[in-house]
């Protein structure tokens, strides 16, 4: 794709954002390289340089927040949104003196004004805060102080915190500060939309450090850097960084990072790809986090649904046959958008391969013996509420209609969790214009499922 100054870049995405196109102002490589040359040895000079870059990028509001016991303030470029909600993208001002000449440390800070330039003229729902935190060498004091000053109302409107660290040595990797994978799903979707490799997740087991007393020397949370104080305040957070040389053997063994990558020098191609990834990623988060979910009615919820299947295709030995589906939890909107993108770019096999890697959302049982895991459980409402369940077949050699990779159960339900349904033993899937999952084709006509009712709601999950 051509790179010219002041070019509005349109990236076509299949999502349920405000529009189906993500638009951002792409900064050309020469300008990126000029930003990288401005690295400063002294923290105070970094603050001054960043302020100048924010101003040149068109930040409408620049805030310096004093931090107790720190010489430098927290520096914030604020891009107001049109709705309630805030997304923070942050990096650390403070790193050891011997690291000052390492471009990978300054590169995380330099990316903040690049994002400001790219996103300041683009409509967005959430307020975007691009933040340089002081005090990382002193226990992440800047990030911790920032979180401590939030009111309860401000904390509740924080949609996400994206922490940047040590960028440009390798393609991007990420560490999650919490178990929920929503932020990771949107990162994967952004990478797919740009046709970049999916960033791999890192944790304590991939750090590549020698064991101490038969135990890992670090914890997963140690990889979260400035994201940690946000997670402790129950704000979803993710750290995006380069892989260290010690991480590379494990990541290269599983194919997540190319073998040619060494992680020992600065790679401008990897850095520019990370910049592009973050532009699209932040706008994905802006367009989707905090959106209201479908209101399915008071009784359409995870649990066990039962009914009778009337088999006309001879799949089962008897008909009708008692059947039940147990739904532990529904597929999230973020997961559905990622699957739509995968299906659009890679077809049925790519979607099947992606679903095979997912944890089960529940299972379906036919009679007393036959059961299968459910990899996708979508809740839709197109005027009537329905649950769309998908199980994946094993990959077959022949490519005939009977070898479609999906078994589908569609349950049409009323507000009390009762209704009828359809069973497709072998189906091809698609997403419609409303981004709802549906059957495009099947090997035979669907079988009826009658007398569907909610037998046992799933136990409620508690959160701290």
Q: What are 72-118's pLDDT values in tens digits?
A: 999 999 999 999 999 999 999 887 666 666 777 799 999 999 999 99
| CA 60 – CA 68 distance, rounded (Å) | 26
Task: Label residue 402 by pLDDT band (50, 70, 90).
Answer: low
Average pLDDT in the 445-459 region? 83
Q: What is the pLDDT of residue 6?
A: 40
Are 377 and 402 spatial neighbours (Cβ–Cβ below 8 Å)?
A: no
Task: Label residue 374 by pLDDT band (50, 70, 90).
Answer: very high
Average pLDDT in the 164-174 region? 94
* 225's tokens: 């850097």
Are 183 and 239 spatial neighbours (Cβ–Cβ below 8 Å)?
A: no
Nearest partner of 241 among 292, 187, 205, judged by Cα:
187
Q: What is the pLDDT of residue 1?
A: 37
Nearest partner of 286 among 25, 12, 16, judged by Cα:
16
- Cross-strand pairs, 127: 86
- Cross-strand pairs, 304: 326, 456
* 372's tokens: 């299968």
Q: What is the pLDDT of residue 185?
A: 87
Q: What is the pLDDT of residue 209?
A: 59
Q: What is the pLDDT of residue 167?
A: 94
Are 276 and 25 spatial neighbours (Cβ–Cβ below 8 Å)?
A: no
Average pLDDT in the 399-410 region? 77
Burial label for 453, CB within 10 Å (0-12, 13-18, 19+), is middle
Looking at mean pLDDT, say which of 175-184, 240-249, 330-339 comes out highest: 240-249
pTM above 0.85, yes or no: no
Average pLDDT in the 369-390 region? 83
For residue 68, pLDDT over 60 is answered with: yes
User: What are φ and ψ of residue 31, in 5° steps?
Assistant: -70, -35
Task: Say whether 123 sits in a helix, a strand or coil.
Answer: coil
Task: Say whether 268 sits in a helix, a strand or coil.
Answer: helix
**DSSP label at residue 413:** E
Are 200 and 173 spatial neighbours (Cβ–Cβ below 8 Å)?
A: yes
| CA 387 – CA 379 distance, rounded (Å) | 5
pLDDT over 70, % of the chain = 83
Are 249 and 261 spatial neighbours (Cβ–Cβ below 8 Å)?
A: no
Are 40 and 49 spatial neighbours (Cβ–Cβ below 8 Å)?
A: yes
Q: What is the pLDDT of residue 56?
A: 95
| CA 44 – CA 93 distance, rounded (Å) | 9
Average pLDDT in the 134-157 region? 83
CB atoms within 10 A of CB 388: 21
Cα angle: 323, vertex 327, 328; to 5 degrees:
145
* 193's tokens: 């939309």
Cα dist from 415 to 159, 298, 384, 385, 449, whole Å = 30, 6, 9, 8, 18
Q: Encode 252-278: b = buried (16+ Cβ within 10 Å), e = exposed.
A: eeeebbeeebebeeebeebbbbbbbbb
Are 161 and 175 spatial neighbours (Cβ–Cβ below 8 Å)?
A: no
For residue 207, pLDDT over 50 is answered with: yes
Average pLDDT in the 195-218 region? 73
List, in sequence order, the alpha helices (H) in 98-217: 103-119, 141-148, 152-156, 182-193
User: 359 or 376: which carries more pLDDT confidence?
Assistant: 376
For residue 136, pLDDT over 70 is answered with: no
Q: What is the pLDDT of residue 346?
A: 84
* 235's tokens: 């704000």
* 437's tokens: 């999952």
| CA 305 – CA 298 distance, rounded (Å) | 15
pLDDT in tens, 4-34: 334 455 443 333 333 336 788 999 999 999 9
* 295's tokens: 């209101």
Q: What is the pLDDT of residue 385?
A: 80
Q: Tokens 């303030």 correspond to what residue?
A: 73
Nearest partner of 115 among 287, 284, 277, 289, judged by Cα:
277
Cα dist from 259 to 71, 209, 263, 264, whole Å = 42, 20, 11, 13
Work out the widest C-alpha separation in the chain, in whole angstroms. Answer: 78
How does strand 158-165 pair with strand 237-242? parallel
């Amino acid at each position: 794709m051509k790179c010219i100054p002041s070019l509005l870049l349109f990236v076509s995405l299949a999502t349920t954002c405000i529009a189906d196109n993500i638009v951002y102002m792409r900064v050309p490589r020469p300008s990126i390289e000029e930003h990288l040359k401005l690295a400063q040895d002294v923290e105070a000079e970094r603050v001054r340089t960043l302020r100048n870059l924010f101003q040149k990028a068109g930040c409408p509001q620049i805030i310096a927040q004093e931090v107790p016991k720190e010489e430098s303030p927290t520096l914030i470029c604020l891009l107001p949104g049109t709705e309630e909600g805030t997304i923070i993208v942050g990096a650390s001002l403070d790193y050891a003196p011997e690291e000052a000449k390492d471009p990978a440390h300054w590169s995380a800070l330099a990316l903040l004004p690049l994002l400001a330039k790219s996103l300041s003229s683009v409509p967005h729902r959430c307020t975007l805060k691009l933040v340089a935190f002081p005090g990382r060498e002193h226990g992440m004091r800047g990030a911790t102080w920032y979180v401590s000053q939030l009111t309860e109302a401000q904390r509740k409107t924080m949609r996400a915190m994206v922490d940047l660290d040590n960028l440009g040595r390798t393609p991007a990797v990420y560490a999650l500060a919490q178990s929920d994978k929503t932020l990771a799903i949107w990162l994967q979707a952004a990478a797919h939309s740009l046709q970049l490799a999916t960033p791999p997740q890192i944790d304590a087991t991939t750090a590549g450090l020698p064991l101490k007393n038969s135990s890992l020397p670090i914890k997963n949370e140690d990889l979260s850097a400035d994201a940690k104080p946000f997670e402790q305040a129950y704000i979803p957070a993710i750290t995006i960084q380069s892989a260290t040389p010690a991480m590379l053997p494990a990541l290269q063994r599983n194919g997540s990072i190319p073998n040619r990558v060494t992680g020992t020098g600065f790679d401008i191609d990897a850095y520019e790809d990370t910049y592009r990834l973050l532009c699209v990623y932040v706008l994905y988060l802006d367009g989707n986090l905090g959106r209201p979910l479908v209101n399915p009615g008071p009784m359409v919820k995870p649990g066990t649904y039962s009914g009778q299947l009337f088999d006309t295709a001879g799949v089962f030995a008897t008909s009708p046959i008692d059947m039940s589906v147990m739904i532990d939890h529904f597929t999230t909107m973020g997961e559905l958008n990622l699957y739509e993108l995968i299906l659009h770019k890679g077809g049925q096999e790519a979607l099947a391969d992606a679903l095979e890697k997912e944890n089960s959302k529940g299972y379906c049982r036919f009679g007393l013996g036959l059961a299968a895991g459910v990899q996708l459980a979508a809740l839709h409402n197109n005027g009537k509420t329905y649950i769309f369940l998908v199980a994946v077949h094993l990959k077959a050699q022949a490519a005939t209609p009977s070898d479609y990779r999906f078994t589908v159960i569609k349950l049409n339900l009323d507000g009390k969790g009762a209704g009828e349904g359809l069973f497709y033993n072998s189906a091809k899937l698609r997403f419609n214009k409303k981004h709802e999952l549906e059957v495009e084709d099947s090997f035979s006509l669907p079988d009826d499922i009658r007398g569907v009712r909610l037998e046992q709601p799933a136990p409620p999950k508690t959160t701290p």
